[in-house]
Chains A and B, each alone.
Chain A
Amino acid sequence: MYGFEALTFNIHGGYLEAIVRGHRSGLLTASDYNNLCQCETLDDIKMHLSATEYGPYLQNGEIPFPFRLPIQFNLSFPLVLFDLAVSVIKLQFWQRGAIGVAHEFILLSPEEPSPLHTTTVVEKCTLKLVDEYKHMLCQATEPLSTFLEYITYGYMIDNVVLIVTGTLHERDVQELLEKCHPLGMFDSIATLAVAQNMRELYRLVLVDTPLAPYFSECITSEDLDDMNIEIMRNTLYKAYLEDFYNFCQKLGGATAEIMSDLLAFEADRRAVNITINSIGTELTRDDRRKLYSNFGLLYPYGHEELAISEDIDQVRAVMEKYPPYQSIFAKISYGESQMLDKAFYEEEVKRLCLAFEQQMFVHCKRPGPCLKKLNCDTSFHYAVFFAYMRLREQEIRNLMWISECVAQNQKSRIHDSVVFIF
């Protein structure tokens, strides 16, 4: 029954929900971002971040025990990962008796000073997110554990595409593995470099991963080239979003309501991005339509119109029929698409914060002025976990942008792309 989750949710999910709300209170605020934007060098940034929750992760040397919990995993690492030139990490973890923490980032040993690059800052911050995620995953029971795993499938898809693309361009496998997102790692990821076409890719590697069911539309014997890889990425992501959506609908209750709203926004945003990116390429209209997801505000009539759009102004005309997206497109003037990304990110952050808080947008299925806000349960649902992961991701994007601007001395452009969360 919708509305009575409060009676039984806390049996399995109460502790973790309280933890994730505690983590949310540690997100950087507007005043933190203001301090960071005024830094002159990366060392300043590191100093400011040390005062926030990222402090223990940015220190040189070992991260003290309470902050890096030894987390048990039953992964069996393929040996290739041990050949990585980061044996320092493994020694440190084996000393502390942690078993199988699955990340490949470089931890600095106690004796070295820190050569601070922007990538180091971002890596450490991502490491914190990974730790928090894994701690929650350890403590979760069904169906929350399945829900948390669903959140990482998107990263898995990105990692797969990264390695395949990199192999195509003759990059070294180890280097590619280091660039992968840690939340999307799985056991046999290194063997992706061996595959020549999609069928082999599936048969060798992906059939054992959770991504296997998403490949039914993708298995062709065509060779992998850039265009096909992008199509593959989008097809996989479409199948993943639909699968996630159906899973949330099965969960029912407040989770289904709020997650369907968030996932619908994600699906619509991807549809718009696919449309804009494929304008002027050789992607046919039918192919484009096949890449749109089967749910969301734009389904099915908006997709019909988007599939035939040929430039940004036509896209804008389509989107302005839908009130929630009209406000996004109102922020960017005609003919300009650079700010569209930022506008979408801002809208996403707004909705994610609402998932934690009082209200949720409910949209009518037909275009027109019928937007209404619905007071729904603020607690006792799983969407807080999803929202937290996405907000953290946005924060890491912000930090990366700020570090890059500071490192390249282009501080005037800092505010182009930083999205404040609070």
Chain B
Amino acid sequence: TYVPSPPDREVSRAPTQIRPRLPLLARTGTLRFVFSEGIAAMSSSWSRALTQISPYTFASIGIAISIGVSVLGAAWGIYITGSSLIGAAIKAPRITSKNLISVIFCEAVAIYGVIVAIILQTKLESVPSSMIYNPESLRAGYAIFASGIIVGFANLMCGLCVGIIGSSCALSDAQNSTLFVKILVIEIFGSALGLFGVIVGIIMSSQATWPAKTA
């Protein structure tokens, strides 16, 4: 059966063979490498495929998700709020300036995404090609990926939440101006969700230490 050769790696044996992988031990010289690669080599081809994806792929996708999906959430929230705000302001023009706060809360969500993306991309470091599939490298790559997903999807949901609340806030403020401050409190709780995502994302990304250059 044809087994594709991974980059910078020796050709692996078929997965059903359970044998100590002495040739690799001889060539790379690190025991940790053997154990991790050995386990993956013994399991199904899907998990092997996953571990053979470069950690830089995961890290870059994580950065993309953090900014892209956050902006999606912010934009979604802004249009939900904006359309109701404009319609309601026809009968009650006084609500316009106060209700821009809802739009600002949605916008903050996009700013969180940008900040985290900038932080994450400073965490990307080069490692020599022999160490790309080091467990440490894999860990760093996965940490950046996870951080990106956390921030992206938390901000998506936060943007949606604040947008829907902002729309209802505009409509009820137009009818009864005492309601505005109370609904604003609900919005503040909603925007805290994005903040949770950012905090956890930054903690995750601080885990992203690539292995030192000397083996």
Chain A interfacial positions (CB closer than 8 Å to B): 6-7, 10-11, 14-19, 21-23, 25-26, 378-379
Is chain A's interface secondary structure helix, strand, loop, or mixed overall? helix
CB-based contact B90/A19 at 8 Å: yes
Chain A residues near B171 (CB-CB < 8 A): 17-18, 21, 379
For B87, the closest partner residue in chain A by CB is A18
Please tell me if B103 contacts chain A, counting CB pairs below 8 Å. Answer: no
State in angstroms the CA–CA spacing of A25 and B85 once bound together: 16
Please tell me if B80 contacts chain A, counting CB pairs below 8 Å. Answer: yes
Chain B interfacial positions (CB closer than 8 Å to A): 76, 79-80, 83-88, 90-92, 160, 164, 167-168, 170-171, 174-175
Q: Given contacts A22-B91, A22-B174, are A17 and B84 in contact (CB under 8 A)?
A: yes
Please list 24 pairs of residues, one from A and one from B, whose beta carbons are closer than 8 Å in the complex, sorted by A's number: A6-B80, A6-B164, A7-B164, A10-B83, A11-B79, A11-B83, A14-B80, A14-B87, A15-B87, A18-B83, A18-B86, A18-B87, A18-B90, A18-B170, A19-B87, A19-B90, A21-B171, A21-B174, A22-B87, A22-B88, A25-B91, A25-B174, A378-B168, A379-B167
State in angstroms the CA–CA spacing of A298 and B119 once bound together: 65
Chain A residues near B175 (CB-CB < 8 A): 21, 25
State in angstroms the CA–CA spacing of A16 and B174 once bound together: 14
CB-based contact A379/B87 at 8 Å: no
For B88, the closest partner residue in chain A by CB is A18
A-B complex: 9 closest residue pairs judged by Cβ atoms: A18-B87, A22-B91, A14-B83, A15-B87, A18-B88, A10-B83, A19-B87, A18-B84, A10-B80
Q: Given contacts A22-B91, A22-B174, are A10 and B167 in contact (CB under 8 A)?
A: yes
- Most chain A Cβ neighbours within 10 Å, of B87, B92, B171: B87
Chain A nearest CB, measured from B82 CB (Å)? 8
For B76, the closest partner residue in chain A by CB is A7
State in angstroms the CA–CA spacing of A322 and B1 once bound together: 74
For A18, the closest partner residue in chain B by CB is B87
Chain B residues near A21 (CB-CB < 8 A): 87-88, 171, 174-175
Known: A14-B83, A14-B87, A25-B92. 19 other contacts (CB 8 A): A6-B164, A6-B167, A7-B164, A10-B79, A10-B80, A10-B84, A10-B167, A14-B84, A18-B83, A18-B85, A19-B87, A19-B88, A19-B90, A21-B87, A21-B175, A22-B88, A22-B92, A25-B91, A25-B175
Chain A residues near B90 (CB-CB < 8 A): 18-19, 22
State in angstroms the CA–CA spacing of A23 and B83 once bound together: 16
Chain B residues near A7 (CB-CB < 8 A): 76, 80, 160, 164
State in angstroms the CA–CA spacing of A10 and B87 once bound together: 11
State in angstroms the CA–CA spacing of A379 and B174 once bound together: 14
Chain B nearest CB, measured from A29 CB (Å)? 12
CB-based contact B91/A17 at 8 Å: no
Chain B residues near A15 (CB-CB < 8 A): 83-84, 86-87
Chain B residues near A19 (CB-CB < 8 A): 87-88, 90-91
State in angstroms the CA–CA spacing of A7 and B85 once bound together: 16
CB-based contact A26/B91 at 8 Å: yes
Chain A nearest CB, measured from B46 CB (Å)? 32
